[in-house]
Amino acid sequence: MNVNGITSAAYAPTAKTTGKSSGSSQKSSSTPAAVYEKSPEVTDNTTAKSSDTAVIESLKAEAEKRTSQLRSLVEKMMLSQGKVFDSDAMWNFLRSGEYTVDEATANQAKADIAEDGYWGVEQTSDRLVSFAKALAGSDPEKAENMINAVKTGYEQATKAWGGELPEICKKTLDSTLKKLDEWKTSTTESTK
């Protein structure tokens, strides 16, 4: 690229600097001194926000589907025993443990809450963390808010249940909080 078209008024190269006589370097050129090339557009948070929204919507849809399947399983088990309840009575009934479960329902429930099951500790805590990160816009500075929200949700679930939640719930809470804390501290440590 020839910059002489731009700089010739302020600077005329000498034979000493270019190895040519100063007369030949003053020659005008029809080549533009500079060409504007638009740089790739800087991504703003719109892409990240739409990605986060997509994650949230996907997680919500999957949770709705799986919750419906679980509800159907429980309703089927309860109806087979001739039981019909409103929501409060249903929680009391489930909490009491005074019901029988057919083998197929028991096997399905065990598979669902197994270590590698959809409602197992790892998969559930992974979904909760993905959801929290998406809500936070993947901003680790908001991790503490997400941690507090998870704790509040657990307290509300405990209250709705009417007593201590099953052990798997506590393990899921612990796993979720650990993963959120790791997310929060990994970013804090990388900025030091």
Per the model's pLDDT, the better-predicted residue between 97 and 16 turns out to be 97
Judge if 34 and 61 occupy the same domain.
no
**Element holding 28 (H helix, E strand):** none
Judge if 75 and 165 occupy the same domain.
yes
Q: Dump pLDDT digits (tens) for 133-167.
A: 999 988 999 999 999 999 999 999 999 888 899 99
Q: Given a cut of 60, is residue 66 above it in pLDDT?
A: yes
Judge if 80 and 114 occupy the same domain.
yes
Write the DSSP assignment of 140-160 as a string of letters: GGGHHHHHHHHHHHHHHHHHH
Q: Given a cut of 60, is residue 55 above it in pLDDT?
A: yes
Residue 187: per-residue pLDDT:
63
Judge if 64 and 8 occupy the same domain.
no
Q: Given a cut of 60, is residue 171 above it in pLDDT?
A: yes
Per-range mean pLDDT, top range of 96-100, 124-128, 187-191: 124-128
Q: Distance (Å, rounded) from C-alpha 19 to C-alpha 37?
A: 32
Average of per-residue pLDDT across 46-54: 65
Residue 189 falls inside a structural domain? no
Judge if 12 and 78 occupy the same domain.
no
Residue 156 falls inside a structural domain? yes
Average of per-residue pLDDT across 93-120: 88
Residue 59: per-residue pLDDT:
78
> Domain limits at 102?
45-180
Q: What phi and psi values does residue 154 have, to the nearest 5 degrees?
A: -65, -45
Residue 110: per-residue pLDDT:
93
Average of per-residue pLDDT across 94-100: 81
Give the contacts of 174 (CB within 8 A, at least 6 positions apart): none
Judge if 95 and 130 occupy the same domain.
yes
- Give me the chain's average pLDDT, please: 76
Q: Given a cut of 90, is residue 91 above it in pLDDT?
A: no
Judge if 63 and 156 occupy the same domain.
yes
| Residue 27 CA from chain centroid, whole number | 60
How many domains are there within the chain?
2
The answer, as to whether pTM is greater than 0.85, is no
Average of per-residue pLDDT across 10-24: 44
Judge if 32 and 56 occupy the same domain.
no
Judge if 163 and 86 occupy the same domain.
yes
Residue 148's alpha-carbon distances to 7, 27, 48, in angstroms, are 61, 71, 23
Residue 192 falls inside a structural domain? no
**Element holding 177 (H helix, E strand):** helix 167-190
Least confident of 29-33, 89-93, 166-170: 29-33
Choose among 161, 153, 157: nearest CA to 135.
153
- Name the pLDDT band for 21 (thresholds 50, 70, 90): very low
